[in-house]
Amino acid sequence: MSTSISYDGIVATVRDVFPDGLIVPNLGTNTAALMHNGERDEEFYMWGAMGMVHSIGLGLALTAPHRTVVVLDGDGSLLMGMAGMSTIGAAAPPNLLHVLVDNQAWGNTGGQPTHTARGVDPAIVARGCGYRVVERAEDEATMRAHMEEYARQPELTFLHLKVGFLDIPRPPEDPDPIGIKTRFMRACRASR
């Protein structure tokens, strides 16, 4: 029996399956989880613009069609920016993997429940918006299997991960947005 999904498990799996991928985490828990596990140039750490992370991923995917773009979204962020899913579905870049890390709460503000805690299902929205593949995972083995399947056969994919609320990483302090951007742009330019 595989273990339930942890933030450290998500970070390790994404970095392992997509070693050259461009990774864009939403502000809050996903940015904190990645930075907590050591910063990498290929990751664009967000410190603002809630609800925008998947749209940034779309711009990256369309402009760098030869690169795999992995968006690590949160449920609060995605609910805020849901309109952006329709533009992603309409454009349907195959090199975009949109991962929703759904802890059913606003994780950075004390764990107040979001609408996904009351049954709202973003995966159905993704299907309605035209994502080519929509998958779910609640354990790490299934999560890895879906990511590896995407890597083998990339099509615009929405991967809905259900996680617990207990293991939220502490966010680092003193963000350096210009340094984050400069290093990420260098990684984008590097030939792969």
Partner 1 sequence: MNTLQSTTPLGEAVTSSMRKNGVTTACYVADHLLAAICDSLDDAPDFTLLPVAREDEGLGILAGAYLAGSRGAMLMQSSGFALCANVLGSLLVPYQIPVVMFVGLRGDLGEFNVSQVSVGQAVAPTCQMLGIPFWAPVTLQGLERILDGAFYTAFSTKTPVCIGIRRSVTE
Report if residue 67 touches partner 1, rule: CB under 8 A.
yes
In angstroms, what is the minimal distance from the CB of 131 to partner 1? 15
Report if residue 126 touches partner 1, rule: CB under 8 A.
no
Residue 49 has which token pair?
């613009």
Query: Helix, strand, or coil here: 72?
Result: strand
With CB under 8 A as the contact rule, the residue among 164, 181, 190, 192 that binds partner 1 is 181
Q: Which range of residues in 12-20, 30-38, 84-92, 158-166 is near partner 1 by CB under 8 A? A: 84-92
With CB under 8 A as the contact rule, the residue among 7, 18, 44, 131 that binds partner 1 is 44
Of 22 and 99, the one with the shorter C-beta distance to partner 1 is: 22
Upper half-sphere CA count for residue 165 (Cβ side, 13 Å): 15
Inter-residue contact 19 to 28 (CB < 8 Å): no
Residue 4: phi, psi to the nearest 5? -70, 160
**Largest interatomic CA distance in the chain:** 44
Residue 137: phi, psi to the nearest 5? -150, 140
Of 152 and 173, the one with the shorter C-beta distance to partner 1 is: 173
Report if residue 191 touches partner 1, rule: CB under 8 A.
no
Pairing status of strand 69-74 against strand 96-102: parallel
Task: Scan for tokens 């918006």, then name that residue.
Answer: 129
Report if residue 48 touches partner 1, rule: CB under 8 A.
yes
Report if residue 51 touches partner 1, rule: CB under 8 A.
yes
Separation CA 5–CA 8 (nearest Å): 8
Report if residue 106 touches partner 1, rule: CB under 8 A.
no
Separation CA 145–CA 140 (nearest Å): 9
Report if residue 128 touches partner 1, rule: CB under 8 A.
no
What is the size of the binding site for partner 1 (CB under 8 A)?
Answer: 36
Report if residue 47 touches partner 1, rule: CB under 8 A.
yes
Residue 118 carries which DSSP code? G
Interacting residues with partner 1 (CB under 8 A): 22, 24, 44, 46-53, 55-64, 67, 81, 83-84, 86-87, 91, 177-178, 180-181, 184-185, 188-189
